[in-house]
Amino acid sequence: MSQQESSITVELPDGSTLDVPSGATVEDVAYEIGPGLGSDTVAGKLDGELVAKEEPVYDGARVEIVTPSADEYLQVMRHSAAHVLAQAILREYPDAKLATGPPTEEGFYYDFDDVDVDEGDFDDLVAEMEAIVDDDLDIEREEVPLDEARDRVAGDPYKEEILEDLAAGDRGADDDIETVSFYGQGDFSDLCAGPHVASTGEIGAVDLREIAATNWRGDEDEPRLTRVYGTAFGSESDLEDYWERKEEAERRDHRRIGREMNLFSIPEHSPGCVHFHPDGMAIRRELEDYIRAKNDELGYEEVWTPELNKVDLWKTSGHYEHFCEEDEMFHWDQASARTEGDDADEYGLKPMNCANHVHLYQRERRSYRELPKRYCEFGTCYRNERSGELSGMLRVRGFTQDDGHAFVTRDQIQGEVTRTLEVIDEVLADFGLDVTFKLETQPDDSFGDDALWERAESDLRSSLDALGEGYEVEAGEGAFYGPKIAADAEDAIGREWTVGTVQLDFVQPDRFDLVYVGEDNEEHTPVMIHRALLGTFERFMAVMIEHFAGRFPLWLAPEQVRVLPLNEEVLGYAHRLRNDFEESGFRATVADGDDTLQRKIRAAHDENVPYMLIVGPDEEEAGTVSVRDRAEREARDVDPDAFREHLRAEREEKRLEPDFLDD
């Protein structure tokens, strides 16, 4: 065998290449780079996928080495902590059956069958886990032939099924495997691909969070399992910080605040579909008006398209195949006495707005002089999310996007995308959110030629470079029809939320045969840009509720001013003031009940009203008000007209906090 045939070439993070022997592992690559890196290697990433250090590399792979200083190290440690939990469960409940136990963004979980455990057992389980960590057990990987592996997992139905899936090449596994890996630590061993840390002693601190019911493989027809959630950190102080953040997140939970402020509800008769109450609708209308103004700046024309379509539209666009494969699309055969002939067909609720906007574009013959052609819509879409995955307004079945689609020539891509990113940056800054842009590249289920994807990704990189703010790359996370840029916003307590997106699409214009007549009088295919400035109103409102903890800026607050009369004698004055503020476009009310003034103040404070105007006989006689804000600052003898002028400026400038009483 020649030298060329016995070696392969891998790509390193800096773009350089390295020749290594065929069959080399991630760890071997690290040692080729340097012995120090080799000895520090915990795991690796192949084309962005986290793998064990023992994983063989392949020709052309992008290889990253994971060491204890890498961001991914915590994920590896949490995977090992999941095994520690499984080991502790088996010690306490020897008849338990193990399913799966991956790391998560906040920690890890493990699913069990035949175990009767509740949160009252957590103290004992955590104590057992801490003992396993203190024992500093070596975590060792073992490659086991398939037949021997079958003997090892005999009697564990879930491990047996996983093993047979691996052997059959199902669920993304290779179909020619001869061995599988087990990881052992002391008296515990688990069928697992890894990666893991070298010993249980590397797990700094562990705790358990909650218990939930789930189904095997996420399928409601499969057995019911017990899921135990936990978390792990490198130190006790990091764990304590986590619980403090967790408590703060619970205090800000949009579901609780939404109930307390009477903003929205999701009743049992509409699972996953939000009912906006009057105060919640006031916030939503502000957001709609705000985005309409931004759309006007960007040159979009507002349209409306129906939620109900024959599925032929979605078959052409590719959404039918994509969403129906996972049963995520609401669709049905429509045949009855009312539907005959062509109407007796399959219908569906739209999962996206883009195909309807394609219809608007293709109704007329287009010239290059008309491009960019831009449509925007507050379009309501539906996805058949699993009931167990629904979460308040963050994960819903019915949602309304601030959607937009621009049809452009290739030469217009960079300018169009760059300007859109600039506006997204401006929008999120108005809400006090810092943004990180992420380029999400071609996924495994993509449509279209690889060459088109490379062109699309190159164009998006150029736009991000032109913006000059830097960006991260999320390999394989693009939409099935094109790569995208996600705007991840960091909220008041450091959590990241994906809100705005810009997606480049060469696929759908081709599938729908979209054309424009170029300057050369020839037909050309336009490029389609999908964009959302906020994402969906439901999700963005949930993020805003939690970001502000219900203490909205004046311009968003459902109630902006509440007038508090000292007694019945000044009710007329209080209502005249309220009317004056309403005529100026503010949302104002009068607290005209029988409560004491102190109770009225406390109620307004608890309900997050930005400003209170306290009026009594002295204020009525002088034609003034006492102004109090929700930060409990107060000023007397204030001219109502001067206060209104301040509110106009505070509203127009979208200031984040009431500042009339700033020192």
Is 403 among the residues known to form the active site? Answer: yes
Asked if 538 and 274 touch (Cβ cutoff 8 Å), the reply is: yes
pLDDT digits (tens, 9 = 90+) for 277-305: 999 999 999 999 999 999 999 999 999 99
Is 334 among the residues known to form the active site? Answer: no
Is 401 among the residues known to form the active site? Answer: yes
pLDDT at 440: 93
Q: CA–CA separation, 41 vs 52, rounded Å?
A: 10
Between the two ends of the chain, the Cα-to-Cα distance in Å is 81
pLDDT digits (tens, 9 = 90+) for 374-392: 999 999 999 998 887 889 9
Is 405 among the residues known to form the active site? Answer: yes
Is 484 among the residues known to form the active site? Answer: yes
Q: CA–CA separation, 488 vs 433, rounded Å?
A: 9
Is 383 among the residues known to form the active site? Answer: yes
Asked if 366 and 375 touch (Cβ cutoff 8 Å), the reply is: no
> What integer is the mean pLDDT of 425-431?
94
Q: Which CATH number fits domain 275-335+345-548: 3.40.50.800, 3.40.50.300, 3.50.50.60, 3.30.930.10?
A: 3.30.930.10
pLDDT digits (tens, 9 = 90+) for 40-49: 999 999 998 9
Q: CA–CA separation, 297 vs 251, rounded Å?
A: 37
pLDDT at 447: 77
**Interstrand relation of 275-276 and 205-215 (parallel, antiparallel or unpaired):** unpaired
Say whether pTM exceeds 0.85: no
> What integer is the mean pLDDT of 119-143?
96
> From the candidates 159, 209, 357, 484, which is the catalytic residue?
484
Q: CA–CA separation, 284 vs 86, rounded Å?
A: 46
Give the CATH fold of the 72-248 domain: Threonyl-tRNA Synthetase; Chain A, domain 2 (3.30.980)
Token pair for 472: 């991260």
Q: CA–CA separation, 295 vs 309, rounded Å?
A: 26
> From the candidates 252, 383, 562, 628, which is the catalytic residue?
383
- Which regions of the chain carry the CATH code 3.30.930.10? 275-335+345-548
Bridge partner list, 180:
144
- List the one residue out of 452, 493, 492, 488 whose CA is nearest residue 471: 488
Detail the residues annotated as belonging to a binding site for Zn(2+): 354, 405, 530
Token pair for 71: 């961001």
Q: What is the CA radius of gyration of the chain?
A: 29
pLDDT at 170: 60
> From the candidates 159, 373, 438, 530, which is the catalytic residue?
530
> From the candidates 28, 159, 319, 354, which is the catalytic residue?
354
Is 651 among the residues known to form the active site? Answer: no
- Which regions of the chain carry the CATH code 3.30.980.10? 72-248
Place of tokens 């105007």: 613
Q: For residue 445, give the amino acid letter.
A: D
Q: CA–CA separation, 352 vs 120, rounded Å?
A: 44
- Average pLDDT, whole number, for the chain? 92
Q: For residue 662, give the amino acid letter.
A: D
Q: What is the CATH number of domain 7-67?
A: 3.10.20.30
* Superfamily of 554-653 according to CATH: Anticodon-binding domain (3.40.50.800)
Bridge partner list, 349:
308
Detail the residues annotated as belonging to a binding site: 354, 405, 530
Q: CA–CA separation, 506 vs 318, rounded Å?
A: 13
Length of the chain: 663
**Rounded to 5 degrees, what are φ and ψ at 252?**
-95, 0
pLDDT digits (tens, 9 = 90+) for 599-624: 999 999 999 999 999 999 999 999 99
- List the one residue out of 423, 411, 654 whose CA is nearest residue 533: 423
**Rounded to 5 degrees, what are φ and ψ at 84?**
-65, -40
> What integer is the mean pLDDT of 512-534?
95
> What integer is the mean pLDDT of 486-507?
90
Token pair for 567: 């007694």
